[in-house]
Every structure is written in structure tokens, then in C-alpha cells.
Amino acid sequence: MSAVEGMDNAHVDAHEHHHESQNFWQKYIFCEDHKIIAKQYLITGIVWAVIGISMSIIFRIQLGMPDSNLSWLKPVLGGWISDTGKLDPNFYLALVTMHGTIMVFFVLTAGLSGTFSNFLIPLQIGARDMASGFMNMLSYWFFFLASILMFGSLFLQNGPAAGGWVIYPPLSALPQAHPGSGMGMTLWLSSMAFFIVSQLLGGINYITSIINLRTRGMSFDRLPLTIWSFLITAVLGLISFPVLLSSVLLLIMDRHFGTSFYLSDIYINGEALPNVGGSPILFQHLFWFLGHPEVYIVLLPGLGITSEIIATNSRKPIFGYRAMIASMLGIAFLAFIVWAHHMFVTGMNPFLGSVFMFLTLIIAVPSAVKGFNYITTLWKGNIVFTPGMLFSIGLVSLFVSGGLTGIILGNSALDIQLHDTYFVVAHFHLVMGAASAFGLFAGVYHWFPKMFGRMMNPTLGQIHFWFTFVGIYLVFIPMHYVGIAGFPRRYYQFTSYDFTNKFMDMNMFISIAAIFSFLAQFIFLWNFFYSIFKGKRAPMNPWRSNTLEWTTPVEPVHGNWVGEIPAVYRWSYDYSKPGAKEDFIPQNIPYSQTLESNFPHENELIATEKEIEAQNFNDQFNSH
Amino acid sequence: MYYIIALVALVFVVLTGVVISRLQDVIKSVKKEESADAVPSGNKVNGALFIVVLVLGGIAIAWSYMHSREFFLPEASSVHGRRTDDLFWFSMGVLTIPFILVNFLIFFFSWKYQYKKDHRASFYPDNHKLELIWTIIPAIVMALLVFTGWKAWSDITSEAPSDAEVIEITGKQFNWIVRYGGVNDNKLGNYNYKLIDAQNEVGIDLSDENSFDDFQNPTEMHIPVNRPVLLKIRARDVLHSVFIPHMRVKMDAVPGMPTKFWFVADKTTAQMQAETGDPNFKYEIACTEICGQGHFSMKINLVVDDEESYKKWCAEQQTFLQTYPEYLAKVPDNLKAKAMKGLPETTVAPADSSATASVAGVSTGTSIR
């Protein structure tokens, strides 16, 4: 984090402050400014991503090159590598578990939502800051605390949690069942409890800010789709995370206080446990009631970011703005009533399976609408391949390719064979893992100039895109084949069975492609950190975009706008409007100034401009 | 396989070449005067790369699929398995159309509509008819897939036929134990997890007369061909999941909540050995729910016999009581005579009736160990 701090020291100081100057701790550590908090989230997320992806490389080496000697990892992993250079099977499970936990929660939830909701909501709705800067700060520091606990668990004697990222009890409830279910699981559960607190504090703040702090004229139908997606994401999180908290608390009770919520009829290590009457399936229901919306918590911000970037760089309005919002709302609603499609073969009543199959497959419809709308936005555009744009196009491709196999898995009859095989792994890595990560990359490339006042190197960005894009497909398309061949997930090695003791070359290929994609990320890391300090100075509106954040100074000051907050008169997608001089008209330009390009109904809106201008209800700086 | 690696290597080499040439462009462009911000460096190259990746990607996917087919599981050996397989490949076929179509459009439009100087994008914010079309068509296709899937699902998960062979399979860290109802009554006896000990691994309750002829096997499961088999699935410690890949069977084993799955295997092991040309072919049962360190090797072999050899195999198995006659002590007095029927004379002698009498007590169950 010191990197950002140092950088910010350098040039934020150059700006004038209309507030009394703050000391270093107030400004960069316990900061209540949404922009700094966003950067804190981003840097923490990047650090976690490096850790999380490195873990996947280690287990990919184990799976793809099972005979390789891993002694070179001894300096890092110590006793987890045996004297013969083999990975410990327990630690393999820990790696798989931590990779999932870290990537889903710490990178793609906190790193993506935390960064861009915090950064963009005030800037794009025209607010000085979040509704509660203090809560926002708490949100980050709870996340930081969660991070410390999770990171600390990596260094335990018995290793971190290792029951899969879904931590199904009884495995996760019984320390005697697995070494990772001891202290590692305790820390995992505590970490997640703090993480959920962080998400709720953040989410409440996002929702409140979006509803209450929109600037003059920024009605809901003029909000950029990014903001819509953040709003919907925050609502999803607010409803579903408490359920995860309750399931975590019940699990803690089972582990430490002798309750039997999830435990029944267990005989382990020569001992029959007294617990009866509990149900492991209950945990699965509670977990997936969060777990499924979580998929969309991860994905929707990516889709929002993509909508904005694709429109900007196609120089076209997003196609079907209202349909895009409607489909996001539809997806969000359906997200809550499909959770049991993760549980078709858990022994759940088959009738429920039919219901959940039906509901699950409905999700394909709003998703299809989104896909087609993106494509139509590209059609007859004037496309500029900024790195952000490339990653957005990549996202659409990954979202569609990965989403289609979801239609197979959502079909309970087909899920019998494919459940918990690599087909599932391939599916969700494409549709939620890679697609959301592409959303994160797209957002970083696109808003880097606003964050740091400098440009990232576009060519390196483009190279990074192509390597990553090709690499992701090279990893996950073949993984579908491995899944169709019946290979189960979370296997330390494939030599125990005749039906998996084959296809070695394909697993090796996947591992090589994964390593290649991993290495390509260093291009990004270098570009990112180098550009923070040495990047080209950014112009005010480098992508010629319509949204409000580009009307702030190159590096927004505390309070974002010097002087009054701009008023908003139009939606954010007036690109290439017929008759207009430029191919973009920012949101703060009134219709009275663009008579040449107005549509008839827009001319009527000119009458309302005075009224909009006269409003002043949310400027936190003017109110006192 | 080496072809794939070579192909990929080629792609990487090409990309690296592109990268280097691009880098040179960058160095040049630094020297050139800065053009307008909207015109990015390398727009043409990136546009072209979309077409290159589209074509190469299409070839690579088609080729890799052809290559991979030989490693897929052989045709299902169960009746419902062939049905779900057909459904799977039918769905895959249907979904390949949008996969190709959408990716083609994304890549092609990106290339076709790349930035051109003095060109302006068309202002095209919505079209209700179009949106209606791509709401309704996916909805219809979904309805079709849902319906076929739902039919298959409800048949597969329906109640097992009454003549089904009932076999119990219990998962524990880290192996499976199968138990049969026995040749005399062919009914599984009751169980209780508190009766589990080192010998009585699944907690057979010997106060139930149905359990007297039960036999179990920790290494091999035999099932008859062409007859419904109902698996009663249990777990002893943590979650496990019964996965019989060749039968397309999968069902979790949950402690405290027995589950079940029924299916009809219609190819014997011998037939499969002939069909695959592999004299060592074996059906296998794996675990697909993470259960701890030995998760990856929690295996038991499955043998599909013709009716005759199945009967013969069952008859050859030693019942639990034959293997561990000391458990006779747990049989209630009034049933002892029945329990002793199949046992050799010598072991029957010490009918110790002192402590264990009527109820096979919970505490004694655990203390025997």
C-alpha cells in the first residue's frame, strides 16, 4: 500500500485544499475520502489476486505435471513440500480452498465492488463523497481485518481451511476430520464474519448514496449503467450476506459450543458423536442462498463497467438502456430463487430439483438479452480499442461462452453426471471468474487516469489483453473436455482410478496455459505500478466520455469538484448524436446548448432546465 | 498432443512477434507528434487480431474437440445414462449455435466497425422489436430444454421399482462399504450409528432379524445386469458422494440423512471388457464430494454380473455373523436360534447371555472395540 501513499503524497499536495490540511494518517490510512478508500480496496485486491492466482499455479503444476519435483517451492511452502519434492495432499486441498475463497470474496467481491463502487458512485452521480465517509472507512478496515485473519491462517502449523471454499460441514465442523478444520477453519470463519460486516457497511453506504446524493437533474433514468449495476449489487449483498453470516455463526456454534445444527449420526475416529438431529443439507441451503447471489455480486459490477466502456469506445449509445436495467433487475431477482441448483445431487427432494431447474434456466433469458445488447452496441460503431474496451469485449465473449454451459449444468438431469467434475470448474471460471476479472481489468484501465491522474501504457495494456484472453480460453475450453471425461474436482492426483488415469497431456496443456496466463499478468502489474509514478499525464477526458467524473479536475480534489457540482440534463449515452459537432455530449451539457442535435421531445425538456439548475439539495459542502 | 502444444506455441510466437512489432511502433510513435486522444495506437492491429483469434480459435476448438473425444467416457452402461448422454449432446449441439454465432458477431463486429477517421457511429439506442425477438427465442429454446430435462429428471428420480435389488453403500474416510440384504431374506437389517465399531463398520443392528444374513464387502460391489438396482446411500463421518462414471450415477452420502439412487445397468463387466477391447476394464466408484486427505483415492470396484454369477457370488459371501460370530452376543435371546442357523457348530457354543440380552445396547456397541 505504501506505493499508493507515496505517490499520492507527491501530487495531491500540489492541489489547493479548501479544508484544513490533514496529517498523513488521516489522509491515507484512516481516510474517509471515497477515492482513497477505493484505491485502498484496489491495492489490497491486487495483492490478494497475486496470492490467489499463485496458489492456483501451484496446484495446476501438481495436476498437470504430477511427477515434477517441487523442491524449489520449499523456501516458500516449507514442510508442505515433502523431502522428495511432493506437495502434501492436505495442503493441496488447502490451496484449492484458499484459492476459491480469496478469488471470490477478497478479489472479485471486495477488490471489484469495493474499488469501483467507492470510486465511481460519488463521481458519476455528482456527489462530494459517500453518504457516510466514516462507515466507508470502517468498511475498508473491517475488510483489512478480515484480510489479516485470512492471511494469518496461511501460516498455521496445520494449514488454513481446507474443506473447499464452500466449507460444507461436517468436514469443516470436525477438527478430527481434517487438519484444516482446526484453527484454520476458526480463522476462516472469523475472517468471513468480519468480511460480511465490511460488505454490509459498504453496501448500505452505496445504496444510500445512490438514492440520496444524486446531483441536480440526475434522475434514475439518467444514471449510467455502472451505477445501476452497483446499486443492484449492493442490494443483493445486503440481502444475502447476512444469511451467510448466520450460517457461519451456526457453524461456529457447532464447532465450539456443542450444538447440532449441521451434525447428526457421526462416527469418526473410533468415536460416535452425541450430535443428532442436525442436517448438513441445511448448511448447504444457507450457504448457497448467499453463494448464488454472490455469483452475481461478482459479475454485475463487471457488466456495469462493461456497459459504460463499450458504449464510450464504440462511440454509440448503449443499445437498449432500459432493457439492460430490466435484465439486471431480472437477474438479481432470479439470483435469489435458484440457489438449490448447486444441490441437485445432495439428496434434496427431487421435486425441488425440478423447480430449481426451471427457475435456473429462466436466468438465461435476461443474460441473453444483455449479450445481444452488447453486440448491437458494437454494430455500426466506431470502435476504439483502448485496453479497457478490449477487456470489455473479452468479457462479453467469456460471459456468453461460459454462460452457455450453465444451461447444461442448470439442467438437473445432466447435472447428475457433471456435478463436481471439471466441467463445472470450467463453466464458472469462464462466466464468473474470468468475466469478472476482465471487468476489473477493464475498469482499472478505463478509470486509471481518473484515479491517478496518469495514463497507463495502452500498448502494454493491449498485449496484456491478448495474452490473457487467449490464455483464459486455452485453460478453460480444454477443461470442459476433462470434465466431460468425468474427472472429479478437488482430486490431488488422477492416478487412483482407471477412468481418470489418462488425458495426462490435456491436464499438462491446461497447466502450461495457466502458467502462461499467470505470467502475462506481470505485464499488467508492471504497467500499473510504473504508470502510477511515471505514466503520461492524463488529459481531463481521455476517452471523450459523457459521464460526470470526467468533468472533475484531472485529479479530483477532496470534494471532487472545485466550486459547484455540475447539474445533469441528459442521459450518459449521447454518443455520435446526429447533427452534433462532437461525437459525444457530456451529461452536464443542457439541451438548450445543443439545439442542432436535439430530438423533438428533448426540445421540450429545455423548459425544465431552469428548474433543475435551481435545485440544491445534496451538496454536502454547501449545506453548512 | 504434441500437435496441440506445437499449435499453441505457434500462436504464442505469432503473438510475441506482434508484440515486438507493436513495441517498435510505440517507440516510433513517441517521437511522432501526439495525435488526438481518441485515436489509439495500434487500433488496426487489434482489429485484425480479432479476426486472427477468431479463425485460429475456431480451428483450435474444433481440432481439440476431435482430439479429446477418444478420452471421453465410453457410452453409458446404464439405461438412464444413455438418455442423459443423448440429452447432453443434444443440448451441446443446440448451444453450439449461439456459441458460434455470438462469438463470431463479437469478433467480427469488433474488426468490421473499428475506428475510421471521419466516420461516425450510428445513433441507435433501442429497437423494441429486436429486443422482443431475442427475449422470446431464448425463452422458447429454454422451455424446450427444460421440458426434456425435467422429463428425464423425474423418471430418473422416481421411486425405484419394487423388484429392485437393494444394496447399501456407506462412505467413510476413506473407503466405501457395501452391504447386501443376504440370500435368505434379501432384506437389509436396521442400523444405528452408535453401534459402529472396528468390525461392525456400518453399525448393523443385530436385534433386527433381517440383519442376520446381511453380508458386507469393503472392496467390491457386485450388481446384477438388466435389473433395477437401488442404492441406499449413507455416510459415517463427513459428506461423500457416490459417483459411478460409467453408469452416470451420482448421489451424495450424507451423515444422518440416507439418500438413494436407482438405475439399471445393462452391460456386464465382461461385455464392457469385450467392447472396449481392454481385458482389465473395471467399473469404478469414486467419491466426488471433498471429504479429506484421501478424497482422491476413495475407490471401490463395481462388478456387473449376469444374473447367474451374481446369485452365485452372493451365495459365496460370508454373512457378517459368520465372519464375526462373537456378535451373536448382541442378538436377543428369542432370536438366537434363528441367528445361529447358518453358523458353523463350533462358534455357536458359548451362548453368553449375561449382559447383552434384549437390546444391543448403545454403550456396548462402542466398547467392544
What tens digit of pLDDT does each residue of A489-546 get?
999 999 999 999 989 999 999 999 999 999 999 999 999 999 999 999 999 999 999 9
Nearest by CB to residue B121, choosing from A314, A368, A484, is A314
- Per-residue pLDDT at A559: 87
- Per-residue pLDDT at A576: 92
DSSP for residue A317: P
* b/e code B209-243 from CB counts within 10 Å (16+ = b): bbbbbbbbbeeebbbbbeebbbbbbbbbbbbbbbb
Nearest by CB to residue B292, choosing from A178, A375, A544, is A178
- Summarize pLDDT for A567-611 with one digit per residue, the tens: 999 999 999 999 888 889 999 999 999 999 899 889 888 988 888
Q: Chain A closest CA to B153's CA: distance in Å?
A: 5
Span B157-182, mean pLDDT? 94
CA B270 vs CA B217, B275, B304, B313: distances in Å:
21, 9, 8, 15
Residue with the three cell numbers 443440448: B91
Yes or no, beta carbons of A361 and B142 under 8 Å apart: yes
| B221 bridge partner residues | B302
Report how far residue A473's alpha carbon sits from residue A470's, in angstroms, rounded to the nearest whole number: 5
Yes or no, beta carbons of A280 and B38 under 8 Å apart: no
| B224 bridge partner residues | B305
Average pLDDT of chain A is 91
- Per-residue pLDDT at B185: 87
- Per-residue pLDDT at A28: 77
- Per-residue pLDDT at A614: 82
Going by pLDDT thresholds of 50, 70 and 90, the confidence category of residue B350 is: very low
**Which residues of chain A neighbour B252 with C-beta distances below 8 Å?**
345-347
Report how far residue B221's alpha carbon sits from residue B177's, in angstroms, rounded to the nearest whole number: 9
On whether ipTM exceeds 0.85, the answer is: yes
Yes or no, beta carbons of B110 and A378 under 8 Å apart: yes
- Summarize pLDDT for A207-233 with one digit per residue, the tens: 999 999 999 899 999 999 999 999 999
E runs forming strands in A112-195? none
**Which residues of chain A neighbour B88 with C-beta distances below 8 Å?**
408, 414, 417-418
Q: Chain B closest CA to A502's CA: distance in Å?
A: 7
Parallel, antiparallel or unpaired: strands B165-172 and A536-537 = unpaired
- Per-residue pLDDT at A610: 87
Interface test with B, best of A97, A172, A378, A554 (most B CBs within 10 A): A378
Span A426-442, mean pLDDT? 96
Nearest by CB to residue A357, choosing from B71, B124, B153, is B153
On whether any CB of chain A is under 8 Å from the CB of B193, the answer is yes
Contact A226, A120 (CB under 8 A): yes
* Strand (E) or helix (H) holding A562: none
> What string of H, E and C letters represents the secondary structure of chain B?
CHHHHHHHHHHHHHHHHHHHHHHHHHHHHHHCCCCCCCCCCCHHHHHHHHHHHHHHHHHHHHHHHHHHHHHCCCCCCEHHHHHHHHHHHHHHHHHHHHHHHHHHHHHHHHHHCECCCCCCCCCCCCCHHHHHHHHHHHHHHHHHHHHHHHHHHHHHCCCCCCCCEEEEEEEECCEEEEEECCCCCCCCCCECHHHCCCCCCCCECCCCHHHCCCEEECCEEEEECCCEEEEEEEECCCCEEEEEHHHCEEEEEECCECEEEEEEECCCHHHHHHHHCCCCCCEEEEECCCCCHHHHHCCEEEEEECHHHHHHHHHHCCCHHHHCHHHHHHCCHHHHHHHHCCCCHHHHCCCCCCCCCCCCCHHHHHHCC
Contact B261, B245 (CB under 8 A): no
Yes or no, beta carbons of A174 and B49 under 8 Å apart: no
- Summarize pLDDT for B39-48 with one digit per residue, the tens: 667 888 999 9
Yes or no, beta carbons of B236 and A481 under 8 Å apart: no
Q: Helix, strand, or coil here: A87? A: strand
Residues of chain A with pLDDT > 90, as a percent, come to 84
- Per-residue pLDDT at A34: 93
Span A380-388, mean pLDDT? 93
Would the pLDDT of A429 be above 70? yes
Report how far residue B87's alpha carbon sits from residue B75's, in angstroms, rounded to the nearest whole number: 13
Residues of chain A with pLDDT > 70, as a percent, come to 95
Alpha-carbon radius of gyration of chain A: 25
- Per-residue pLDDT at A564: 86
On whether any CB of chain A is under 8 Å from the CB of B86, the answer is no
CA-based nearest residue in chain A for residue B153: A413
**Which residues of chain B neighbour A542 with C-beta distances below 8 Å?**
37
Q: Chain B closest CA to A597's CA: distance in Å?
A: 11
Identify the CA nearest to B235 among candidates B190, B278, B301, B289: B289
Contact B292, B105 (CB under 8 A): no
User: Which grid coordinates are listed for B91?
Assistant: 443440448
**Which residues of chain A neighbour B239 with C-beta distances below 8 Å?**
168, 170-171, 280
Residues of chain B with pLDDT > 70, as a percent, come to 82
Parallel, antiparallel or unpaired: strands B165-172 and B228-235 = parallel
On whether any CB of chain A is under 8 Å from the CB of B246, the answer is yes
Nearest by CB to residue B40, choosing from A276, A314, A458, is A458
CA-based nearest residue in chain B for residue A470: B53
User: Which grid coordinates are listed for B260?
Assistant: 438413494
Nearest by CB to residue B109, choosing from A178, A270, A379, is A379
Would the pLDDT of A309 be above 70? yes
Report how far residue A68's alpha carbon sits from residue A91's, in angstroms, rounded to the nearest whole number: 17
Would the pLDDT of B70 be above 50? yes
Report how far residue A43's alpha carbon sits from residue B258's, in angstroms, rounded to the nearest whole number: 48
Going by pLDDT thresholds of 50, 70 and 90, the confidence category of residue B29 is: low
Indicate the residue type of B267: K
Yes or no, beta carbons of A420 and B288 under 8 Å apart: yes
- Per-residue pLDDT at A193: 95
Contact A190, A283 (CB under 8 A): no
Report how far residue A296's alpha carbon sits from residue B26's, in angstroms, rounded to the nearest whole number: 39
Give the distance, in angstroms, between the CA of residue B11 and the centroid of all CA atoms in the same chain: 35
Yes or no, beta carbons of A413 and B87 under 8 Å apart: yes
Yes or no, beta carbons of B99 and A400 under 8 Å apart: yes
**Which residues of chain A neighbour B360 with C-beta distances below 8 Å?**
none
- Summarize pLDDT for A437-450 with one digit per residue, the tens: 999 999 999 999 99
Nearest by CB to residue A265, choosing from B115, B256, B280, is B256
**Phi/psi at A470 (5° precision):** -65, -40
- Summarize pLDDT for B116-168 with one digit per residue, the tens: 888 888 898 888 999 899 899 999 998 888 899 999 999 999 999 999 999 99
Report how far residue B365's alpha carbon sits from residue B329's, in angstroms, rounded to the nearest whole number: 11
Interface test with A, best of B5, B233, B252 (most A CBs within 10 A): B252
Would the pLDDT of B368 be above 60? no
Q: Chain A closest CA to B350's CA: distance in Å?
A: 28
Report how far residue A456's alpha carbon sits from residue A529's, in angstroms, rounded to the nearest whole number: 9
Residue with the three cell numbers 460416535: A272
- Per-residue pLDDT at B27: 55
- Per-residue pLDDT at B346: 53
Going by pLDDT thresholds of 50, 70 and 90, the confidence category of residue A21 is: low
Identify the CA nearest to B200 among candidates B328, B346, B291, B345: B328
- Summarize pLDDT for A26-52 with one digit per residue, the tens: 777 888 899 999 999 999 999 999 999
- Per-residue pLDDT at A523: 95
Report how far residue B204's alpha carbon sits from residue B342's, in angstroms, rounded to the nearest whole number: 18
Would the pLDDT of A4 be above 50? no
- Per-residue pLDDT at B23: 60
| B257 bridge partner residues | B254
Would the pLDDT of A11 be above 60? no
Yes or no, beta carbons of B121 and A573 under 8 Å apart: no
- Per-residue pLDDT at B364: 39
DSSP for residue A88: P
CA A118 vs CA A312, A542, B98, B197: distances in Å:
21, 21, 36, 57
